[in-house]
Structure 1
Amino acid sequence: MNNTLTNGLGLLSLVANTGRAHGVTELANMAELPKSHVHRLLQSLVEARYLEKDHQSRYSISVGALRLGRELLRNIPVRRMALPEMMQLVGEVKAALSLAAPFGHEAISIAHITPDGNLRGSMESLGSVLSAHASASGKLFLAYLPEDEVGEVLAQLDYSGGGPNAHRNAESLKAELPQIRARGYSINNLESGANMNSFAVPIHNQDGKVFAALGASAQANELSLKRIAELAPILLESVQRIESTIKEENP
């Protein structure tokens, strides 16, 4: 990829992820790029309306960036195919439902439906990055990686975050991956937070590769391990219908 484009996208991500305005010098230091180069990139992003510049010459994310997210969501095929099934499913499982896709070594939420059936579009759920070591979807994608990639990925993860039961090292996480594959779904038992449980089942594309995950989450007292075992077959049946739709559209 062109270095200028890569650096520009990197700056856009820096500003978007921190949630506050930054000056040129600060962004140059954060990006480890020359100040003059950063200034030119910022001006281009302002002209494209992805960033805005205030009276103190600080830069923050602009509402123009919403165009990217809107068009992206509209054009993610698995989201379009899964949403009708998720809307039918949420009343039965009585838990929040999420659809996630791989995002580097982690996972990212591309759809979220609340237990009352509302499709969420807020940034607190949509676009959330889900930890590879402490989320059901993140662990699921790790479990289905090619064997020769797993060790390298595990060595790069940060194991410092998560809830009381989160994995704290590569060896611990690696030991769970065969269990996930054997079970057919991944469980998050107080790993992402102190009182949250979730699980995720894999969605395969027409070539048989896991490229998305359908998950359910709730407070631990509402989604016990016993309840997860009861609900998992229901989500797996839903995934079969989603995969059938995928195959029909991609013969």
Structure 2
Amino acid sequence: MTKLQQSSIVHKCAQILDVLAHARRPLAYMEIVEKTGFVKSSAHRILAVMEGEGLVEKDASLKAYRLGPKLSYWAQTAWRKTDLQDVAGAELEAFCEKNGYNVALSIRDDDKVLYLRTLDSVPVRYASRAGERAPLHCTAAGKVFLAHMSESQQDRLMGELKFERLTENTIVSAEVLKRELKLTRLRGYGTADREESLQVAGVAAPILDTDRAVMAAVSIWCPVAQAGIGELQLMAPELLEMTKRISAQMGHHIGA
């Protein structure tokens, strides 16, 4: 078989995969033939090879084809190997440089927020650093993580929180925090207005994974002498656009 023939077969396999990927349901053999324009014998031969390799699978009851399990395995493996910090790094740096606010990337570590990376546009001595942890109940990122949990997960974790009062603005009531979490879920971002520190306000938005679960959060924050919570919330649309782009690169399909 010549290189040109091999290339042609690969191209035809890619066409079939593309057709199946865009279909809303499994496709019958003749539908694939019609959508690709392939000769019947060629389509049959290629589908047989692809089925043997796990690239497509045939539903015997429907007599139709769908994407195969090997593609799912490849996709999941690729996403697992995608490093969150590498993907988010350029976005965080650009946002910080453009807008002049401090930025942090974090994940949930049980009942704490764990900072993976921090960028300080305005250095302050009380700023959190990579590797440090913060409470869930009084940080914008913590509220994002809590807000996107299932009700049972949320109830369990909130039952374990100590609700330590760190400032006069700290929410120390589970009932009040639940109302705040509903608002967080509704508008798509969380806020913390001088709740962890009287000198700081912040806003955070989620990064979603392939299952629409929150895998991380991006926070923007600054000393209230620089900007209050109202001014930071004006940045929420841009923050949400950034986290959507990062989510897409981590495998989340925005329209799903």
What does 1:1-251 align with in structure 2 at a 5 Å threshold?
77-115=83-121, 125-247=129-251
Aligned-partner SS, 2:250: helix
User: How many Å separate the matches in 2 of 1:179 and 1:148?
Assistant: 18
Distance 1:189 1:76, change over 3 A: farther
Q: Once the 2 structures are TM-superposed, how far is the Cα of residue 124 of structure 1 from its aligned partner?
A: 5.1
Structure 1 stretches of 4+ moved >4 Å:
none
User: How many Å separate the matches in 2 of 1:92 and 1:144?
Assistant: 29
Q: Once the 2 structures are TM-superposed, how far is the Cα of residue 188 of structure 1 from its aligned partner?
A: 0.5
TM-score, normalised relative to structure 2: 0.62
Q: Once the 2 structures are TM-superposed, how far is the Cα of residue 79 of structure 1 from its aligned partner?
A: 1.2
User: How many Å separate the matches in 2 of 1:103 and 1:76?
Assistant: 20
Aligned-partner SS, 1:233: helix
1:103 counterpart letter in structure 2: D
User: How many Å separate the matches in 2 of 1:180 and 1:124?
Assistant: 22
User: How many Å separate the matches in 2 of 1:236 and 1:124?
Assistant: 22
Give the alignment's Cα RMSD to 1 decimal.
2.2
- Contact 1:203-1:213 at 8 Å conserved across structures: yes
User: How many Å separate the matches in 2 of 1:221 and 1:124?
Assistant: 18
1:105 counterpart letter in structure 2: D
**Structure 1: 5+ residue runs without aligned partners?**
1-74
- Contact 1:214-1:239 at 8 Å conserved across structures: yes
Alignment size in residue pairs: 170
Q: Once the 2 structures are TM-superposed, how far is the Cα of residue 85 of structure 1 from its aligned partner?
A: 0.8
Tell me the percent identity. 23
TM-score, normalised relative to structure 1: 0.63
Structure having the higher Rg? 2
**Structure 2: 5+ residue runs without aligned partners?**
1-80
- Contact 1:96-1:113 at 8 Å conserved across structures: yes
User: How many Å separate the matches in 2 of 1:124 and 1:146?
Assistant: 28
1:109 counterpart letter in structure 2: Y
- Contact 1:136-1:199 at 8 Å conserved across structures: yes
Aligned-partner SS, 1:125: coil
2:223 counterpart letter in structure 1: Q
Aligned-partner SS, 2:98: helix
User: How many Å separate the matches in 1 of 2:170 and 2:239?
Assistant: 24
User: How many Å separate the matches in 2 of 1:127 and 1:76?
Assistant: 20
